[in-house]
Structure 1
């Protein structure tokens, strides 16, 4: 008797962004959405940016814990609270905001914080000065160490040129990590952004591998992973065969799911999908196909066949 990758799913640590299926953690549909993700094989859910003053933190933590799905938070910066600023008070406020996000992560029962902690998110008006990157790296490195002491891994996402001029490539991310002085700061690569900025996506994964803490899988059109310019199964295979042992993530956005404000901010003008749960289920199948192509995946399939003969 033989088993394929889907009938014997591997024990992969995969997260799905909540906004794939739901616009807001305050929705009454949150428990059902999380149940659907768990049923699809996800172990974690990435949350949109949260204001701890406007949510029931303890209640949310109970919802996650009851379903055995762990949250991953997103942290960022705002005008007046920006670690890349040349104003010391603004840098201090930015660092304080990041530390507060660490505390929120812990209170929700999470052990990972992603996001854009190195500066302001949004359409850049020019290149980011090296001095701003240097200031930012020092502050973010300190917060990464602070997070590590609390059992939380901090990563920063590499974005495309239309969302930031600070860090667009894996090579820039590795230089930023070095400048941070922290051994605990991780890199978050997203194949959607990589498809814009990297000449070779597999090569970028290899380059960032020593500090790669989160590999997010997003298709070129922001829709399902099965169709688009990004060969997701091949990149999953490459990551595993290169020795990647970190978490994988799934991200997709549709104007039918997101709030109008979030859609506008992320330039989501269309609805590349209507069924978020269906997309999440298909994405897990795509990831498992990629794993099945890897050396580890083929070995697991052989062992599964032997155990059922």
Structure 2
């Protein structure tokens, strides 16, 4: 398993569960100093990232790009994949494709989380699910040209009513014709929704493609009440070799949150 840390460039999300906030140059250099393997970046849009500059910064720090988030599509641009308006759904899918194109240059994936939308009084549950599936088919097929999967994240009940558990996510992925979508299993969301986090990961099996490594209160690992022994054992059981990525509050500050996550990563993966 490999270490990863989040960098946010989205001012509208400041204070949210991302560890590093001080721009790409400073954040990537700091992550490299701490020995991380990769970064996961949340940007307001692809126009905010110069691919050549990013490549230079990553090479200098000895890091990989693990993934690019699409969350700003919702947070900043109010685009979501289950919108009742067909034109807005197409805008949302294009936003995702653009992120896939940028991430793909680095052999990295795009993540769909908050952009998945939800059913409501206007869009009923079957229709919202249909729209989401159409978007995952579109994105999964688009990502295939880069030989990377699209990553889909089940969220807790307070953030979506599409998929909230690993089992929901597996069922959704099994309904798709594309095989190029994997699951992001976020331990914070799982702490709310799963009866047994370890068993849920085992049931996800080879569909588990990315992990958000965070504690029960969304603080860095070791700052809440999550029990990690069985979780790490479950990941080893399914032969998970991907990233454990810190998507956590920058508590008590970004630097210490990054250091604490690295200490926890080394403890749990090397024990």
Pick the structure with greater CA Rg: 1
- Asked if structure 2 preserves the Cα contact closer than 8 Å seen for 1:156 and 1:188, the reply is yes
For 1:132 and 1:125, how far apart are their aligned partners in 2? 9
- TM-score normalised according to structure 2 size: 0.83
1:73 to 68, 73, 86: 68
- Are positions 1:292 and 2:261 aligned together? no
Superposed CA deviations along residues 146-205 of structure 1, whole A, max 9, x for unmatched, are 102123321011211111111111111011111222111010011011111111101111
The list of structure 1 runs, each at least 4 consecutive aligned residues, that deviate by more than 4 angstroms after superposition, is 76-81, 124-128
Aligned to 1:7: none
Name the residue aligned to 1:282: 260
Does structure 1 retain, via aligned residues, the 8 Å contact 2:221–2:264?
Answer: yes
Distance 1:175 1:56 in 2: 37
**Aligned pair partner of 1:183 in 175, 179, 184:** 179
The DSSP-based 3-state class of the residue aligned with 2:5 is strand
Q: CA separation in 1, counterparts of 2:28 and 2:150?
A: 23
Q: Decide whether aligned partners of structure 1 residues 81 and 223 sit closer, same or farther in structure 2, where only a CA change above 3 A counts.
A: closer
Within a 5 Å distance, the mapping from 1:1-309 to structure 2 comes to 12-19=1-8, 20-25=18-23, 30-71=24-65, 72-76=67-71, 77-78=73-74, 81-107=79-105, 109-116=106-113, 119-120=116-117, 129-254=125-250, 272-274=251-253, 276-293=254-271
The question of whether the paired residues in 2 share the 8 Å contact of 1:216 and 1:250 is answered with yes
Task: Decide whether aligned partners of structure 1 residues 13 and 201 sit closer, same or farther in structure 2, where only a CA change above 3 A counts.
Answer: same
In structure 2, runs of 5+ residues without a counterpart are 9-17
CA distance in 2, matches of 1:161, 1:139: 21
Over 3 Å counting, the alpha-carbon distance change for 1:289 and 1:237 in structure 2 is farther
The alignment partner of 2:39 has SS state of: strand
How many Å apart are 1:89 and its aligned residue?
A: 2.9
Per-residue CA distance 1:207-261 (angstroms, 9 max, x = gap) = 112211001111122222113121134312321133222222112113xxxxxxx
Secondary structure of 2:137's match? Answer: helix
State how many pairs are aligned.
257
Q: Contact 1:177/1:186 (CA < 8 Å) preserved in 2?
A: yes
State the SS of the aligned residue for 1:62: helix
> How many angstroms apart in 2 are the aligned matches of 1:180 and 1:118?
18
Residue 35 of structure 1: how far off its partner (Å):
2.6
Q: Which moved more, 1:202-211 or 1:55-64?
A: 55-64
Compute the TM-score of the two structures, normalised by the length of structure 1. Answer: 0.74
Say which is worse superposed, 202-211 or 12-21, in terms of deviation.
12-21
Which digits, 9 at most, give the CA deviation of each residue in 1:50-103, with x for residues without a partner? 323344343233222322212220124447754323443333222222111111
